Amino acid sequence: MTLVAVKVLHRRELTIWEKLYIPQVLGGLRVTSRHLFRNLFLHTAHRLGLLAYLPAAVTVQYPEVLRRFETRFRSRHRLTVREDGTPRCVGCMLCETVCPAKCITIVAGEHPDPNVEKYPVRFDIDLGICVYCGYCVEVCPEDAIRMDTGIVDVAAYSRREMQLDIHELMNPALRKPIGDCSLGFPHQCGIAGGQMKGDWSVARGDTTPPA
Amino acid sequence: MVMDVAVKLTLAALMFFGVLNLAALHTWLERKQSAIIQDRIGANRASILGFRLMGLFHPLADAVKMFTKEDVVPAGADRALHTLAPIFSVFFALVAFAAIPFGDRLVIGGRVIELQIAKIDAALLYVFAMLSVGVYGVILAGFASRSNYALLGGLRAAAQMISYEIALGIAIIGVVMIYGTMDLQELVRAQGKHLGGWIPLWGIVVQPVAFLVFLTAALAETKRAPFDLPEGESEIIGYFVEYSGMKFGMFFLADFLETIMVACLATTLFFGGWQVPYLMRDGFHFPWGATLPIAQWAYVLLGIASFSIKVVVFCVFFMQLRWTLPRFRYDQLMTLGWLGLFPISVVNLLATGLALAFFKG
């Protein structure tokens, strides 16, 4: 025989007053009617342009009105850029390593500046896999990746469209399909079919490209 | 003869135009009222040419959706009965409206027109008969779906409607005893007197207990919250699980029609139907002695307006109740019906009989 912990629940019996139902129903009606008439009055007042500071509903009319996000809210990623328009990312692979969802793919290339050493030739994030944990932002030593674009309507018709490449990460305003590659530094470009595109001389504004 | 038919057809068209539109508006009312009670905005996206009109196009969009949806009949279900059930429900809900008087008699060129589709001596019995037959639609739906959930839902609905019909009927007998008629038009006419010239002698004044019992039982008849056990869309599901498209829409329509029917009955039996306080056929007779004569057409129009306003107010009130009260548990429902409303209505009936015997005899 096993001992089982038994917790006896004593439900409160209804009083006569409560068993009559009618007073309780009226009490409930008072609450709902208060809301109904208050909100009806406010909706009418809003139509007339009055009392705009008193909200009649908690609803946010989403596509037209966007809710204000807190500053630490994690939205779609972006790569920060240096003054010359090249990514701050040094291709250290910390974010790719820490990513629990393994949604980041980086291919590093040699940076012409010996103090920087590396930069991302390719930087892809698959938003279909991303869990928005923000570890990549936390771990980045260069403040090169942030999740502060405020973009939350990440939706697509195919998995391919959920995969962001370096173009969209450096310019959050871009949406697929991307028409033309505008990045000046050398990178592996989906538009060029995975071929290298761009030139350091263009990115740095050199008048004559090196031979 | 031709004129008689034309008059009746016009009356029927008027009534059903009003009732069916009110039923469509109920879907709008249901969404908007619940939303406003819950500090939301409610459906407002359907638009025609950019006009949204506070979501008034949603009933229209609903209708388009219902008609274009696939009509699924479960494998092994009785196809004929499955189709018959929603038609049954809507038909008997609609037919009951024939006996509801929505205005006083209109005299045009010597022709007396009662604003009531069918003048039936036992109109009250007719209405309740039609409402009772509505149960068959529900049971049929549960039975013909070949689904145990639907069958259980149908049985729940049948048990609930039959138990509450008894309290409903007995509550109404009190009113019938006092006014001495089953003809709804005469019943409304009898409510035109005033107590001491001030208080209109409506059913609610002479039969307040019967009104409460009637309201509760009638709400249970409509199968809407807090008595929505036959449906319980969110979890226990009911008799129309296996219905889709317009067939489902017809059950929905029947539901709203029944709500309107109950609102009409409550108005007719307890709130003086088309009566306007202090308004006689020749004009207002205010209790302080003043009179205000008005034309016949104004009198009849005021009556129709009075009836419509009362019905709409009842509809809004039912909606408010529906969004206020949680659902009853099934044993609570049966206890309330058999041990609560039934004895109360019987006692009310006895008290009414004794009072009548003492004061009239």
Give A210's pLDDT tier (boundaries 50, 70, 90): low
Residue pairs spanning A and B at CB distance below 8 A: 41
Identify which of B40, B41, B323 has the shortest CB distance to residue A32.
B323
pLDDT at residue B233 tops 80: no
Does the pLDDT at position A1 exceed 70?
no
The confidence score (pLDDT) of residue B198 equals 81
Print the domain residue range for A33. Answer: 17-47
And the tokens for B333? 């429902």
pLDDT at B158: 87
For residue A22, the chain B residues in CB contact (below 8 A) are 212
Q: How many CB atoms lie within 10 A of CB B132?
A: 17
For residue A171, being part of any structural domain is answered with yes
Q: Give domain status of residue A185, yes or no.
A: yes
Mean pLDDT of the region A170-193: 81
User: Is A64 inside any structural domain?
Assistant: no
Q: Is A87 a domain residue? A: yes
Q: Is residue A35 part of a domain?
A: yes
Count structural domains, chain A: 2
CATH number of the domain enclosing A155: 3.30.70.3270
For A17-21, A52-56, B110-114, B231-235, which range has the lowest pLDDT when averaged over its residues?
Answer: B231-235
Report residue A209's pLDDT band, with 50, 70 and 90 as the boundaries. Answer: low
Give A33's contacts in chain B (Cβ within 8 Å). 320
Segment among A31-45, A167-181, B117-131 with least mean pLDDT? A167-181
Q: Of A149, A157, A176, A155, nearest to A165 (Cα)?
A: A176
A22 and A83 fall within a common domain: no
Best of A13, A32, A46 to mutate (most B CBs within 10 Å, chain B)? A32
* pLDDT at position A114: 86
Answer left, alpha or beta for residue B249, where phi above 0 means left and psi between -120 and 50 means alpha: alpha
| Residue B34 pLDDT level (bands cut at 50, 70, 90) | very high
In this structure, the answer to whether residues A96 and A36 fall within a common structural domain is no
Question: Is the predicted pLDDT of residue A173 greater than 90, yes or no?
Answer: no
pLDDT in tens, A118-164: 999 999 999 999 999 999 999 999 999 999 888 888 888 988 888 88
- Residues B275-323 have pLDDT tens digits of 888 888 888 888 887 888 888 888 889 999 999 999 999 999 999 999 9
- Verify cis geometry, omega within 30 degrees of 0, for the bond prior to B293: no
Proportion of chain B in helix, strand, coil states, percent, rounded to 5: 65, 5, 30
Listed in sequence order, the DSSP H helices in A140-208 are 166-170, 200-204
**Identity of the residue numbered B90:** V
My answer on whether omega of the bond before A186 falls inside 30° of 0, hence cis, is no
Closest residue to B36, CB basis, from A28, A29, A39: A39
Residues A91 and A144 both lie in one domain: yes
Say what percent of chain A tops pLDDT 90: 41
With a cut of 80, say whether residue A2 has pLDDT above it: no
Helix (H, G, I), strand (E, B) or coil at A113: coil
Does position A48 have pLDDT exceeding 80, yes or no? yes
Question: 0.90 cut: is pTM over it?
Answer: no
Q: How many domains does chain B have?
A: 1
Is residue A106 located within the same domain as residue A165?
Answer: yes
State the pLDDT confidence band at A208, using cuts at 50, 70 and 90: low
Tell me the nearest-neighbour CA distance from A120 into chain B, angstroms.
Answer: 45
Q: Which residues contact A166 (CB under 8 A, 6 or more apart)?
A: A79, A87, A120, A122, A123, A124, A183, A187, A189
User: Where is pLDDT greater, at A204 or B231?
Assistant: B231
Same structural domain, A105 and A24: no
pLDDT (0 to 100) of residue B136: 87
Rounded CA-CA distance B41/B152 in Å is: 36
Mean pLDDT of chain B: 89
Give me the mean pLDDT over the A22-40 stretch.
93
Cβ contacts (< 8 Å) between A28 and chain B: which residues?
Answer: 324-325
* Structure confidence at residue B259 (pLDDT): 92
Q: Does residue A73 lie within any of the structural domains?
A: no
The band of B361, judged by pLDDT with boundaries at 50, 70 and 90, is low
Distance CA B63, CA B21 (A): 12
- Rounded Cα distance between B105 and B113, Å, is 5
The range of the structural domain enclosing residue B146 comes to: 2-360
Other beta carbons within 10 angstroms of residue A64's beta carbon come to 6
CB-CB: which of B40, B320, B321 is closest to A57? Answer: B40
Which residue, B292, B220, B298, B297, is CA-closest to B262?
B220
Phi, psi of A119 (to 5 degrees): -150, 160
A42 lies in some domain: yes
pLDDT digits (tens, 9 = 90+) for B9-21: 999 999 999 999 9
Min Cα–Cα distance to chain A from B50, Å: 14
Cβ within 8 Å, pair A40-B323: no
Does the pLDDT at position B109 exceed 70? yes
Q: What is the pLDDT of residues B325-354, one digit of tens each?
A: 988 888 888 888 899 899 999 999 999 999
Q: What is the pLDDT of residue A154?
A: 83
The percentage of residues in chain A with a pLDDT greater than 70, rounded to a whole number, is 97
Q: Answer whether residue B234 shows pLDDT above 90.
A: no
Q: Do A39 and B33 touch (CB under 8 A)?
A: no
Nearest-10 crossing angle of helices B296-322, B2-37: 40
- What integer is the mean pLDDT of B36-60? 88
